[in-house]
Amino acid sequence: MRKKSLLVRHLLATTAIAAVVYASEPANAQTFNWTGPYIGVNLGYIGASQETTWGPPSFGLSPVKPSATSQGVVGGLTGGYNYQFPGSHFVLGAEADIDLASGAKSSFGGGGCNCGFNKTKISSLATLRARFGYAVEKALFFATVGGAAGDVKNQSSYFGNSTDPLETAKKSGWKFGWTAGGGAEYAVSEHCVLKIEALWVDLGKSHALNSPACGCTASFRNTAFITRVGAAWKF
């Protein structure tokens, strides 16, 4: 909930900033047409969370759902296409990006005696999204939603010993889910566009067995909050 509230506050802040920029435009400023392809770069913050649940409950496992949140830097390439309806402020577009991410986090909690060890890391992230925007001169306010994929590593140890394969469950690889968010863009020239946006990413759940002898399963739920800035060249 805390990250979702951060997303809402970020979107409100970016909307206010873009409104101030627009208000400072000269009255005779030319209307900017957003139609066309673009390619650019982005850089920002990522907070990736892992929530772990051990089961089955009949084993007397702790009901606590510990989480580990990694914080780091995310950055990469962005490309897309916008179409502004003739004589209208409305803009429809599609955007894709692929980013590398840094940061890993460990925490203790859950599992046996509430002393389990948990670790999460996301190393790369890609999205493919639709964008729905409203253009006001050189400013564009947009909402976005689509699919997401991330290269995620999850690890949890029932009694906190991460080196013991009998009590440790691991899961790594690409996971798929959805993303939604929004932001604002401003065209500083005919071709150069600056952007600020925030995204909520949900990569769903995955399951891992710690050992056939123990038969305990760890369920991982992976989410991430991203806020970033970007610059693009519009063709």
**114 phi/psi in degrees, rounded to 5:** 55, 35
The reported pLDDT for the residue numbered 120 is 75
d(CA 53, CA 219): 5
First to last CA, the chain: 39
With a pLDDT cut of 90, the percent of the chain lying above it is 47
- Adjacent-strand bridge partners of 208: 218
The reported pLDDT for the residue numbered 78 is 97
d(CA 47, CA 104): 10
d(CA 30, CA 26): 9
Is pLDDT of 102 > 70? yes
Pick from 157, 169, 74, 153: which is nearest to 121 by CA?
153
Q: What is the pTM of this model?
A: 0.76
Instruction: Provide the strand spans (E) within the chain.
Output: 36-55, 67-84, 90-101, 104-108, 117-136, 139-157, 168-187, 192-209, 217-234
Burial class (CB in 10 A: 0-12, 13-18, 19+), 85: exposed
pLDDT tens-digit map of 188-233: 999 999 999 999 999 988 777 665 556 667 777 888 999 999 999 9
What mean pLDDT is predicted for residues 82-111? 83
Maximum alpha-carbon separation in the chain: 75
Domains of the chain with bracketed CATH = 2-234 (2.40.160.20)
The reported pLDDT for the residue numbered 27 is 41
